[in-house]
Structure 1
């Protein structure tokens, strides 16, 4: 799961399989250019990385920052949605007025072929705006979970389970790998 991310803290070289279940510094094994002769069992490495991630991700400051960022983005999207809906309503009012003016002109005996094209265009635009408003009304507002930080803690705490479940292992691995640039392994561990 972490291959490619494992780096030797002594020489910054990659790690490679040494034996059946151990990983060690590739520069030590292949070139003899590193003093890091320590090998690590795969299961121990995985456990240490998951524990380290949990410790870092469950830090109270990080949880507070996550909740703050989530709420800010949620609020920003809510405001943007309200602004978009208000603009759509204004546009619909304007299009409806234009249609009414053309209908009034026709009722007063004025008709040009270009009025038909304009009316068709306005009617199509009106239908689009009404559909946009209809779709906006159908989407229920997103409500933040009252215990969002507890939900976050629970998700992070369940990392090991997600990695051991065949149905979620691939996705969990991808998510965890996206959180890490590299894992440095000093010879003291």
Structure 2
């Protein structure tokens, strides 16, 4: 990677190139030593799994509620029909039956277009993960232009 020409009028004084593999090795070394602490990684994995599963459970609960609601609406509509047969004034039942039919149509459309929620994540046991495999091999020293590199 080469230093980019600045947009100001002053010419660039640093024309240093850094090899991509050296830069990648430097970054991976930093990740390995500073950001991949096994205790912090374990906590991250645990919290991430909990949050993803919570969201998936909520989505699944919504879907299950939508699946049960048309049955409840059908029961309500049956009660309205029974009330009409028994002589209850139609004008009072009309609005309620129209709202129930509209909600049933909305639910039918939602259920037709809804995807099943993805399965829950299995808890990760970071203690069993091979941290060394992520950063295999010796990491070279940082190039001279990088901090702490000379």
- Normalising by structure 1, what TM-score? 0.47
Over 3 Å counting, the alpha-carbon distance change for 1:79 and 1:146 in structure 2 is closer
Q: 1:65 aligns with which of 43, 50, 56?
A: 43
Residues 56 and 17 of structure 1: is their aligned pair in 2 closer, same or farther, counting only changes over 3 Å?
Answer: farther
Aligned equivalent of 1:120, options 98, 101, 105? 98
1:63 and 1:152 in contact (8 A); partners too = no
8 Å contact kept, 1:88–1:133: yes
Give RMSD over aligned pairs.
4.1
Q: Give the count of matched residue pairs.
A: 129
Counterpart secondary structure, 1:18: coil
Q: Which residue of 2 aligns with 1:144?
A: 121
Structure (1 or 2) with the greater strand fraction = 1
Report the Cα distance in structure 2 between the residues aligned to 1:135 and 1:151, rounded to whole angstroms.
Answer: 38
User: Greater relative contact order: 1 or 2 (C-alpha under 8 angstroms, separation 6 or more)?
Assistant: 2
Partners of 2:52 and 2:99 in 1: how far apart? 36
Which whole-Å CA distance do the structure 2 matches of 1:120 and 1:106 have between them?
A: 14
1:104 pairs with 2:82: yes
Q: Distance in 2 between matches of 1:113 and 1:53?
A: 71
Kept in 1, the 8 Å contact 2:59–2:117? The answer is no
- Does the alignment pair 1:186 with 2:147? yes
